[in-house]
Structure 1
Amino acid sequence: MPKSAAKHSAESLKPSPPPLLPADSEDSQLTLRLREYLKFEDIALVWSAYRFSAAAHEGQMRKSGEPYITHPVSVACILAELHMDVPTLIAALLHDVVEDTGVTKQEVSEQFGKQVAELVDGLSKLDKIEFQSATQAQAENFRKMLLAMSQDVRVILVKLADRLHNMSTLDVMRPEKQRTIARETLEIYAPIANRLGLNAIYQQLEDLSFKYLYPMRYGVISKAILAARGNRKEVVGKILDSLKHRLEEMHIDADITGREKHLYSIYKKMTGKTVTFSQIYDIYGFRVIVKDLPTCYLALGVLHGLYKPIPGKFKDYIAIPKANGYQSLHTTLFGPFGTPIEVQIRSSEMHNIADAGVAAHWLYKTTDAHLTALQQQTHQWLQRLLDIQSESADSLEFLEHFKVDLFPDEVYVFTPKGKIMALPKGATAVDFAYAVHTDIGNRCVAVKINQELAPLRTELHNGDHVEIITAAHSHPNPAWLNYVASGKARAHIRHFLKAMQSSESAHLGERMLNQAVRALHADPATINDTHWQKLLRDYNAKNKEEILTDIGLGKRLNVMVAHQLLAMGEEPFEGQAKQNNKQLGTITIRGSEGMAVQFAQCCRPIPGDPILGFINKDKGLVIHTHDCPAIRKFRVDPEKWLDVEWDPDSKRLFKVNLKLAAANQRGMLAKIAAAIADAGSNIDNVSMESDDSSYTNMHFTVQVENRAHLAELMRRLRKIPDVVRINRVKGAGAEQRIQ
């Protein structure tokens, strides 16, 4: 980088007229856009940043062969169209200088202020996102983007403009690189633009991504639209004239324009509804812009009087705005020749927000800034993503939750106090509970939907009144992950379950370690903090709980940890010969250990069964019956097994599989269910299979306390005259892997 840029003097920041430039240059276009809304002094500041950036990038070229400075100028032009403030424009011009030249953040701060320096720094951290091939690295960079974005949303606005210009100049890249960048844009950047209400940028990003991901489909639809313009020109013109004439008759001042759906939205409609291009009649729509909100509804009534509305095709996004702040009335009418007409009606202010979104009137951080409703919604969304980021265990998991939140076809429901809440399409009562508050989600046990009790997995619909019922000692159920639709709910449930599993595994690990220490003829009480500190350094572990959790989860052998702890004492430990798990005594299984101890699905052990414990990495201690077919080939590895026994005072219920053959008669299932209930057992699952004979095979999963309880249950079932055979099923899942 030339020294002139690094030593850029403060004299250049004094107001001076913008340089005279060729009329067709990007720089001239930037000047024209700046003059639309900035003062002379502000334009001078922007041009001082241009000169600084041009000097820093001197000699650098883009892959297209153009001077590199054309890129930041183009990014600034895009943002100038949104009428962004001066610091944002300066950051756009400087967004690559820290990453690609010798300029430092400190130099930027000295020349243009701390605010600009922070924006540039936030953008510099994101540069590696663009062409990252490794999924894990890409995901980690998106975490960085979120953090920068949560501090100042202008960071992502500049990044979106940067991505838009890069997409428009993607022709010079290799086809594989084009597809990689286009897919990333379609999956992440376009949805972010949509979520922030930047409609124009959102549509351009989608169309450009479509062009490079599916070039042939893009070309076919482009040609079809060009042909349709000529074929439908007369119809569109007639409809436009009739709309204008009727509104003028009713003395409603309106600006009416025809609009064409963008290419990717047409493609999505074709693939989503499996229709051909010729079957899509709403390629063209009409936009009616009036002066204020009341006139929107007046215009709606007039148009419904002109053409009949299609039932079920009216949406009021004014009363209930979209999450990105979008407001408009949408209606579909029966037009002439039976052609459906899509019409959007909105005020001028709503139109500005629909095009520019959060950039339309973003108030930046000041001591007395009053946030608009849109800004509050954007702030809440960013905070929600921050919550997801803090709850996610790793970057890939965060990216998964992030993508879920970026595609919210919204459902609007009401709280008991009448507040409207927007949730992703397919959201259930559990999603609603977490949207209200994390504690409500963690403790929910039931839900009332429209004043009627319903299961927590019930999918919510527009207009539902939802009331969550909680219990103080309730906690998330792993099954919830199968039907939640929001990233926030999924992240909080996983975080809670992992924390609970970690705690339970640490308790189990401590018991296993103590038994290993005793088997080595030592007292666990003799192991002090000094021993643990030395071990933590050797293992590079954060704390004692981490090692105990690893033992409980089977990631570390208790014998090895016991050896190393005892070897770190001041006196040499005698008898450090090789030991194995069979010398460690027996671990007592209470049945209340939670997720740290799991009971194998293949054999479903119950108290009274002879059992063995298998150390399974990540799952912890898995309990099998000693004769389970699934474990035969693994019993040759004694280091993975522990001797376990049942606690005689265990009071919980355990699941067991039963198979019955009974006469194929009316009421037979009811008789069997009654006998099971009379025996003090519960039915967890039931299925039946019939081979068209006079008998039916029934498969039950029932809950019992122990083998004695099971024996009593089976005696009662055998007393039913039409039950001809009953036996306990073991080894049904023997083919499943257990490691």
Structure 2
Amino acid sequence: MNLTPADSTVSVAQNSRATSDRSATKDTDSLSKPDPNTLGSGVASVALLASKLSEYLTPSELKKVREAYRFSDEMHLGQMRKSGEPYISHPIAVAEICADWKLDAQAIMAALLHDVMEDQDVKKEELIERFGAPVATLVDGLSKLDKIEFQSQIEIQAENFRKMLLAMARDVRVILVKLADRLHNMRTLGFMSPEKKRRIARETMEVYVPIANRLGLNNIYRELQDLAFAHLYPVRYRTLSKAVKAARGNRREVVSKILDAVTHTLAANGIPAQVYGREKTLFGIYRKMRNKHLSFSQVLDVYGFRIVVDSLSNCYVALGALHGLYKPMPGKFKDYIAIPKLNGYQSLHTTLIGPYGTPVEFQIRTQEMNHVAEAGVAAHWLYKDEDASLTDLQQRTHAWLQSLLDIQKQTGDSAEFLEHVKVDLFPDSVYVFTPKSRIIALPRGATVLDFAYTIHTDIGDQAIASKVNHEPAALRTELRNGDIVEIVTSPTSRPSPNWLTFVRTGKARSAIRHHLRTINLSESTELGKRLLVQALAALNITPPLPEPLVEKLLNESSAKSLDELYADIGVGKRMATLVARHIRKLANDELPPGTVTDIDTDIDTDEIAPVTINGNEGASVLLATCCHPIPGDRIMGQLKRDQGIAVHATDCDLARRQRSKEPDRWIDLAWGTDINRRFDCRIKVLVHNQRGTLARVTAEIGESDANIVYVGMDDDRDPVMKQLHFTVQVEDRIHLARLMRNLRRVPNVARILRERG
């Protein structure tokens, strides 16, 4: 390839004449005068990149890459990194990493150009004209949204991630180039301020490390993890690094002995194999010490061994040979060949008791499995639309990327989208089966309802019951490896806001929230209107609001209409008191005096009248199950995002703790007078263990015009006394008091009380 040192020398000379007409400052880069001492490394980098690309690209493709390099070099003219190197060294390094994966010419061009839109204000149309639409689309997907105004840094970050992930869903090369970009930035993070180091390292650990793992890019996954660990906890990193170096000498004899024994055993069994000893990553050791509360000396399996054989059948033959050599530890065998991980990883894992009683982990795989284990989706990066032509790994990746698009369609904002995606990036998985023996992989901790939504959104929406291993199970049942799951549906069933308290996957959460936002829109709108009118009344503002004020309010809140604003308040996305105060501010700032009454800005929110509820508002008002409030109880409400108001009794311990943490999300409530329904209430009855007592208690509940929803009994094996637990439906506190009085007159009833918490 003709990315020769001569080319680089020209741009080096130009870089020394730093210009100021095209300049930019990035998180990891800044402008300064070039350092001539660093220019030689740039020439070497270009030559190395040219050498790598010439191994697999055609001459015509190399010509296009050379054009992209020259354009990038010209655009970044005069821009320097904080390390003092010319900025062009960064795109070259990113392209080198992509070349190691043998990505195509378009991806290499995008790697070289990935910062020109963001830093140098190059338009997408110009890139389309010069390099074609595919390259321009890749670069656009990699560019941040710096030109758009957002309300907070968190919102900026969330929207940038959403833009990148949606671009990745359409073309997986976007995230491959982005991961290469992040890897090089992390390698050179030492020149940043401590605060910026921690921010970038935390972002890497929370988003990019899980994505690399999800795509099976294990080499990058491990390196990013260790780099982020080093910058997040530098003292712990240095301490652990010294301990590992000191332990290498002590454990060298053990490792050498195991290598010799394994190599000899495999050869004796006629198994051609390559045996590698490997050291666990520092972060892997640290995580094990932290999770299991171990000291470094207690982490015995710092070293592991990888055995690469020539065929699938020899994986299992080698496993048998190893189990004959050393004794296996019970429960420490995993077959990821028969059931691959979500990211396509395949291997046999077994932990054996080696010499001197040391646990040793072995991974056994074929050459192809080893290639996929190291490079993941980059091993077969070509992204196609025809499912029939995709490998198993590509199909898994395609399904996950498609789920991102599904979540995007159902998500209200960028922060919520990122929240759902993060949930799905956890590496641990559980594998369950459909009744037709199809394997479904879910995050660990996933429930039956998550399974239903994974099969299809409609199945999740209409789920009413389930069977796990042919036995009835609740929708909130947590699944385990090997479970056989069957979902029972009903066309009349609809998602409940309570489902959000136990679902685990991003797809399930986004689908439930989408349903609650759309189906219950009228209820949420009406509740939101009541909340806002009440908050405005406390500020001496009486609707209807003047038209100019409404227009200004909608523009600043990004709501399309007042109904949409009401709905956002009704589901807890906006605070009625804050919106009311914003309206007052707009009225004082924008409108002529006298249009709206001006009042003191220091408003005592305690003076705001309680919001009245009747308990029949629908899904926008939920009665908390921790305290089961009923009419007559003093109540307060928690504004929950996308769930409306959760009603608690004021003496509820859980509510008091949560209110102390987020006081702005709580409002005072009062029961209305037009209540025509019954409410669940829990009572506990202590009785003498006599024949017929339960029958008499339940009969008295019926005679008191209360309905029994649930009955249970403590298994305390006390032969004299028993505790009975009932959930009954009553009209109000007066009805409950009458019921409890009647129960006290039942023979053998020793005590009765209302249960809370």
Q: What TM-score range do you get, normalising by the shorter chain?
A: 0.7 to 0.9
Moved more, 667-676 or 312-321: 667-676
The match for 1:655 among 680, 685, 694 is 680
Name 1:499's counterpart in structure 2. 518
Is 1:593–2:617 an aligned residue pair? yes
What SS does structure 2 have at the residue aligned with 1:146? helix
The match for 1:50 among 69, 89, 103 is 69
Name 1:719's counterpart in structure 2. 745
Does the CA-based 8 Å contact 1:686-1:700 persist in structure 2? Answer: yes
User: In the aligned structure 2, how far is the partner of 1:46 from the partner of 1:144?
Assistant: 26
User: In the aligned structure 2, how far is the partner of 1:360 from the partner of 1:116?
Assistant: 21
User: In the aligned structure 1, how far is the partner of 2:214 from the partner of 2:647?
Assistant: 48
The match for 2:396 among 373, 377, 383 is 377
Shift of 1:544: 6.6
Distance verdict in 2 for CA 1:511–1:306, change over 3 Å: closer
Query: What amino acid sits opposite 2:91 in the alignment?
Result: P
The match for 1:155 among 133, 153, 174 is 174
The match for 1:675 among 700, 703, 711 is 700
User: In the aligned structure 1, how far is the partner of 2:211 from the partner of 2:402?
Assistant: 15
Shift of 1:341: 2.0
Match runs of 1:339-738 below 5 Å:
339-365=358-384, 370-506=389-525, 540=554, 542-543=560-561, 545-546=563-564, 549=567, 592-596=616-620, 604-606=629-631, 644-646=672-674, 650=676, 652-656=677-681, 671-677=696-702, 679=704, 680-683=706-709, 702-705=728-731, 713-714=739-740, 716-723=742-749
Name 2:605's counterpart in structure 1. none
Name 1:5's counterpart in structure 2. none
Name 1:27's counterpart in structure 2. 46
Name 2:588's counterpart in structure 1. none
Query: What amino acid sits opposite 2:353 in the alignment?
Result: F
Unaligned runs of 5+ in 2: 9-39, 534-543, 581-595, 598-610, 656-666
Is 1:202–2:221 an aligned residue pair? yes
Name 1:239's counterpart in structure 2. 258
Distance verdict in 2 for CA 1:156–1:126, change over 3 Å: farther
Does the CA-based 8 Å contact 1:613-1:621 persist in structure 2? Answer: no
User: In the aligned structure 2, how far is the partner of 1:302 from the partner of 1:354?
Assistant: 23
Distance verdict in 2 for CA 1:33–1:710, change over 3 Å: same
Identity of aligned residues (%): 55
Q: Deviations over 1:57-114 (max 9, x none)?
A: 1211111111111111111111111111111111111111122225332222222211
User: In the aligned structure 2, how far is the partner of 1:42 from the partner of 1:116?
Assistant: 13
Shift of 1:142: 1.3
User: In the aligned structure 1, how far is the partner of 2:527 from the partner of 2:303?
Assistant: 65
Shift of 1:444: 1.4
User: In the aligned structure 1, how far is the partner of 2:350 from the partner of 2:668?
Assistant: 66
Does the CA-based 8 Å contact 1:605-1:624 persist in structure 2? Answer: no
Is 1:76–2:95 an aligned residue pair? yes
Query: What amino acid sits opposite 2:697 in the alignment?
Result: I
User: In the aligned structure 1, how far is the partner of 2:712 from the partner of 2:288?
Assistant: 42
Shift of 1:38: 2.6
What SS does structure 1 have at the residue aligned with 2:239? helix
User: In the aligned structure 2, how far is the partner of 1:120 from the partner of 1:68?
Assistant: 17
Is 1:334–2:390 an aligned residue pair? no
Name 2:245's counterpart in structure 1. 226
Does the CA-based 8 Å contact 2:218-2:373 persist in structure 1? Answer: yes
Distance verdict in 2 for CA 1:455–1:43, change over 3 Å: same
Distance verdict in 2 for CA 1:641–1:162, change over 3 Å: closer
Query: What amino acid sits opposite 1:437 in the alignment?
Result: H
Q: Deviations over 1:687-708 (max 9, x none)?
A: 99x9x9x999998652125789
Moved more, 678-687 or 389-398: 678-687
Does the CA-based 8 Å contact 2:384-2:390 persist in structure 1? Answer: no
Q: Deviations over 1:277-318 (max 9, x none)?
A: 122222111111122222222222222222222221111111
Shift of 1:399: 2.2
Shift of 1:482: 2.6
Q: Deviations over 1:227-266 (max 9, x none)?
A: 2222222221221122222222222221211111111111
Distance verdict in 2 for CA 1:612–1:644, change over 3 Å: farther
The match for 2:138 among 119, 129, 140 is 119
Name 2:28's counterpart in structure 1. none
User: In the aligned structure 2, how far is the partner of 1:428 from the partner of 1:230?
Assistant: 47
User: In the aligned structure 1, how far is the partner of 2:729 from the partner of 2:576?
Assistant: 33
Does the CA-based 8 Å contact 1:553-1:615 persist in structure 2? Answer: no
Query: What amino acid sits opposite 1:461 in the alignment?
Result: R
What SS does structure 2 have at the residue aligned with 1:171? helix
Query: What amino acid sits opposite 1:101 in the alignment?
Result: Q
Does the CA-based 8 Å contact 1:126-1:145 persist in structure 2? Answer: no
Distance verdict in 2 for CA 1:615–1:320, change over 3 Å: closer
User: In the aligned structure 1, how far is the partner of 2:165 from the partner of 2:512?
Assistant: 21
Q: Deviations over 1:101-143 (max 9, x none)?
A: 25332222222211111111111236799xx982222112211
Query: What amino acid sits opposite 1:92 in the alignment?
Result: A
User: In the aligned structure 2, how far is the partner of 1:332 from the partner of 1:623?
Assistant: 51
Distance verdict in 2 for CA 1:236–1:120, change over 3 Å: same
Name 1:255's counterpart in structure 2. 274
Q: Given the two structures, how large is their TM-score scaled by the length of structure 2?
A: 0.76
What SS does structure 2 have at the residue aligned with 1:313? strand
User: In the aligned structure 2, how far is the partner of 1:194 from the partner of 1:402?
Assistant: 14
Q: Deviations over 1:538-594 (max 9, x none)?
A: 76353474366479789889xx9xxxxxxxxxxxxxxx99xxxxxxxxx99885431
What SS does structure 2 have at the residue aligned with 1:309? strand
Q: Deviations over 1:514-554 (max 9, x none)?
A: 9xxxxxxxxxxxx9xxx999997576353474366479789
Does the CA-based 8 Å contact 1:589-1:646 persist in structure 2? Answer: no
Does the CA-based 8 Å contact 1:210-1:218 persist in structure 2? Answer: yes
RMSD of aligned Cα (Å): 4.3
Moved more, 364-373 or 354-363: 364-373
Distance verdict in 2 for CA 1:323–1:445, change over 3 Å: same
Does the CA-based 8 Å contact 2:690-2:748 persist in structure 1? Answer: no
User: In the aligned structure 2, how far is the partner of 1:675 from the partner of 1:318?
Assistant: 61
Does the CA-based 8 Å contact 1:684-1:703 persist in structure 2? Answer: no
Distance verdict in 2 for CA 1:233–1:32, change over 3 Å: farther
Is 1:61–2:87 an aligned residue pair? no
Name 1:523's counterpart in structure 2. none
Does the CA-based 8 Å contact 2:532-2:576 persist in structure 1? Answer: no
Q: Given the two structures, how large is their TM-score scaled by the length of structure 1?
A: 0.78
Whose Rg is larger?
A: 1
Match runs of 1:71-220 below 5 Å:
71-125=90-144, 134-220=153-239
User: In the aligned structure 2, how far is the partner of 1:367 from the partner of 1:494?
Assistant: 31
User: In the aligned structure 1, how far is the partner of 2:644 from the partner of 2:379?
Assistant: 54
Query: What amino acid sits opposite 1:410 in the alignment?
Result: S
Unaligned runs of 5+ in 1: 1-14, 515-526, 561-575, 578-586, 631-638, 734-739
Query: What amino acid sits opposite 1:721 in the alignment?
Result: P
Does the CA-based 8 Å contact 1:261-1:283 persist in structure 2? Answer: yes
Does the CA-based 8 Å contact 1:258-1:287 persist in structure 2? Answer: yes
User: In the aligned structure 2, how far is the partner of 1:411 from the partner of 1:603?
Assistant: 34
Shift of 1:616: 8.9
Does the CA-based 8 Å contact 2:614-2:672 persist in structure 1? Answer: no
Query: What amino acid sits opposite 1:273 in the alignment?
Result: K
What SS does structure 2 have at the residue aligned with 1:25? helix
